[in-house]
Structure 1
Amino acid sequence: MTQASPSLTALRPVLHDVMQEAAALALPFFRKGEQTTARVWSKAGGSPVTEADVAVDTFLKVRLSQVEPRAAWLSEETSDDPVRLGHDLVWIVDPIDGTRAFLSGHPDWSIAVALLRGGEPVLGAVFAPASGHFYEAVVGQGATLNGTAIAVSSQDRLDGARITGPKPMQDRLLAGAARQGPRPSVTVIERVPSLALRLARVAEGRIDLGLVSKDSRDWDIAAADLILREAGGTVCGLDGGPALYNRSEPRHGELIAAPLSLRDSTLAALEK
């Protein structure tokens, strides 16, 4: 495992403060249980974006570029610049992960920021401003929620597991497990709109298994991936390989997020 350096340790509280400032830009537009007051429009492909997304993205690009000017940039709301492919350091940012939740007044949206070094996340934070939950990790130093160390659950079998994610993947998982033995009894947790937050909740042990459909992007998962790794879990593809970052197409196939103790049985059940 890559060891944390003093510079990463020093960056952690700086990133924390920057993300708090970013949240202060978004929160005035959020109304719990009601529609946002922000202006909304559709991007190419039809997904929504709000003025809050753009304001947070612009703020983070300026501030994080000051914090670590050597790093390139990849964000959901900024046109991709392939110059990032030649950089050792890259900021990966989702200014508002779970925009539809933000729009509708659902509290499970987040701001997610990761710093990559050599294609691996080495610093990550996921902040859910509506609930005040702030997840952080530095490579080699463990993961925290609001400053307290967190760890994945000790669940080591599908039977009795708390799972969340897209229903088609859940159905495949249970059918696959049933082919190998008794059909497991699981507790289905309501799908968490923010993918970064879904993975972070696996890291803190509130969810045993998170399923992720194909086409997630680097900005959806990089920060939470590190948090989950540092909490004793994994984000991996159905081949068991880790998520890979800062490729020319920052898109991923189906993934699972789980404690290491649950990884192999989950992959076996999802095996095609």
Structure 2
Amino acid sequence: MTIRDDHALAADLATEAGERLLRVREHLGYDDPGALRAEGDRSSHLYLMESLARLRPSDSVLSEEATREERLDPRRLGAERVWIVDPLDGTREFSERREGAEAGAADEGRADWAVHVALWERGRLSAGAVALPSQGRTLTTADPPKLPAYDKGRFRIAVSRTRPPEFVRKLAYLVGADLVPIGSAGAKISAVLTGEVEAYVHAGGQNEWDSAAPVAVALAAGAHASRIDGSELTYNQADPSLPDILVSLPELATSLLAGIRDLHR
């Protein structure tokens, strides 16, 4: 088993899960969003769990859709290798039509949702992939995206489209940035890596599966990724809560962390 194998597996699993989710959405449509979300979560979780059990039977798995008992399994905390997956990051966006889209259009669904597959190994994230199925791409540690150049001046911060933290509004004013609402956490972090925004700041509560895969790709690409106090993001903890995060182009990290500190004094 090589590191390359894990990179490739993460990318293959995330991409295939995403393609399956597109088929689920096409089959069920948008008339019953609750049923669409439930089936998307269920089917993608089962595919990832069955695939990892077959292909990496000695590894542990932490999934958003796991039961509480599965999440608290002490074997995970003692394992050297743990896959951290979010079978459907952005269930709300997955179940919604794109604004302005006509019913029945081939691309009527929202595109800002993702599938996350990451590998934590001996204390660090060693591989990961974020599939963006409706965008037709997968970002992976096998071939990290090249970070866009930062043209000094006003920049953009990705925030939640439904519950942006008030302090991020204040931070944007302080550092001279515009806010860009985007759906899922994976879509937001991916937007930093692809040049749609320059930073993502969140402090409204998350869990490890919300960020493990996109952070793995961000770090492989050379982006900054940390807690909002500048401390390291840690994974495979007994409590999977990881409530805040900052991902940005490396040139912006110092000013953003300084602004956050000023706002929290």
TM norm structure 2: 0.83
Corresponding letter in the other structure for 2:35: V
Look up the match of 1:249.
239
Question: Are residues 51 and 38 of structure 1, via their aligned partners in 2, closer, same or farther at CA, if it must alter by over 3 Å?
Answer: farther
TM norm structure 1: 0.81
Distance (whole Å) between structure 1 residues aligned to residue 211 and residue 136 of structure 2: 20
Give how far 1:175 is off: 5.0
Give how far 1:13 is off: 2.8
Contact kept, 8 Å, 2:15 with 2:138, in 1: the verdict is no
Match of 1:210 among 200, 203, 224: 200
Contact kept, 8 Å, 1:96 with 1:111, in 2: the verdict is yes
How many pairs align?
A: 241
Look up the match of 1:154.
150
2:226 maps to 1:230: no
Structure with higher helix content: 2
Unpaired runs of 5+ residues, structure 2, are 98-109
Look up the match of 1:262.
252
Match of 1:120 among 117, 124, 129: 124
Look up the match of 2:5.
10
Distance (whole Å) between structure 1 residues aligned to residue 9 and residue 235 of structure 2: 23
Question: Are residues 223 and 119 of structure 1, via their aligned partners in 2, closer, same or farther at CA, if it must alter by over 3 Å?
Answer: same
- CA offset digits 1:229-259 (Å, max 9, x no partner): 1112122112211211011111113221112
Alpha-carbon RMSD across the aligned residues, in angstroms, is: 2.3
- CA offset digits 1:52-91 (Å, max 9, x no partner): 2111101101102222222111001011133211111000
Contact kept, 8 Å, 1:155 with 1:259, in 2: the verdict is no
Match of 1:40 among 35, 38, 53: 35
Alignment of 1:144-183 (within 5 A): 144=145, 150-154=146-150, 159-165=153-159, 166-177=164-175
Report percent identity of matched pairs: 26
Give how far 1:155 is off: 5.1
Contact kept, 8 Å, 1:93 with 1:113, in 2: the verdict is yes
Unpaired runs of 5+ residues, structure 1, are 1-5, 42-48, 145-149, 178-183
Question: Are residues 153 and 202 of structure 1, via their aligned partners in 2, closer, same or farther at CA, if it must alter by over 3 Å?
Answer: farther
Match of 2:65 among 45, 66, 77: 77
